[in-house]
Structure 1
Amino acid sequence: MYIYVPTQKLEKAPILVAIHYCNGNAQAYFTFNDNKYATLADSKGYIIIYPSAPSSVFATGTGSGAMMANVLAGAFPDIFKAVTAYCGVPDGCFYVSTATAGMTTPGWNNDCANGKVSKTSQAWGDQVRSYFPGYNGSYPKVMIWHGTADNVLGYPNYAEALKQWSYIHNVTFTKTVTNTPDSGYTKSIYGDGTKLIGFSAQGVGHNVPIHESVELEYYGL
């Protein structure tokens, strides 16, 4: 992100996000077609943000943050390279139907939270792909963590999330490795382990510790 802040900006400055064209970048768009965004910002007091297409963006989160990490992986596969979700739910699990005018809106879903929502791998995967119709590129690699004693977002969500991303990545379960990376943890490997892995933490609740070094190694950082 490149940000242009005028010398005299408004106290509650509006923000203009200027998004570059295909194969372009933020710097090129700053002067594209001799545009006057910056000049006008100096006189009108707004801020401009120029995003430049990133090459390696990663997301990680716990609980509702894990839900969002899964959503980002599904909705923006062209932006994110890898995601890690601690104690979350499958992408789209909280999407519930309402009786109002036949609308479908996101909201709290007790069945999902309690681990009672189960779908086939394809059904979960089709839900992910529905967010970006026509997208034929690759999806982010995914790492899932969940505690067996989670009483906030039920443990069955762990298996459902693995089903979902195994379908997206077209990989099947290969093997488990016990006591990895810590005692009581079980690592589940899908395919060759480069696109999807999971960690089940025996007896751990909705507070699986963050394993930064494991994440970063998986990201290749």
Structure 2
Amino acid sequence: MIKVVIAEDQQMLRGALTSLLKLEMDIEVVAEVSDGEKAWEAIQMFKPDVCLLDIEIPFLSGLEVAEKIRVANMSCKIIIVTTFARPGYLQKSIDTQVDGYLLKDEPIEYLIESIRKVMNGERVVSTDLAATLFLKEQNPLSEREIEVLRLAKEGMTTSTISKTLFLTKGTVRNYLSSAIQKLEAESRQQAVNIAVEKGWI
């Protein structure tokens, strides 16, 4: 029996997925949750064979949960399910060594087949996503700029970021200004949004 945890914040979709997977003789849904923190708790509690993780779930994103699974060295297979065919997200998923990356508009049969395939050690990527691999944009941000934008994304002020990273306020402003220029943004918030959308922070 393949034990599955589903993490999806849209209740209707989560319920539909659960109901359809329960019809399969070899699949058991051991938990269905609405956010990343609950997903991580369920994964530790139930030790599933496969996790279906939506990327954009609250508290911890699907990719952050995937990273935790990998860092903890758990044997759980990871399938990312998303609405977004963004090259940055796909690249990040590949870097995290997820086992599957599927678009939500795939037929349910494709998802079920994918669960079985990853259990057999195969990797699965939606056909429509294969092309996005060739659209991979080079991340122009330095490590420090990424770090500063991540903290800005959490709502930290320049002053708090400078204390957190042990940098002067002027240096933090320089990093933010440089990131804004590189991303051709008009503000700190817009730079954060662009970097998130491209999967760079």
- For normalisation by structure 1, the TM-score amounts to 0.27
- For normalisation by structure 2, the TM-score amounts to 0.29
Q: Which has the higher strand share?
A: 1
Q: Which has the larger radius of gyration?
A: 1
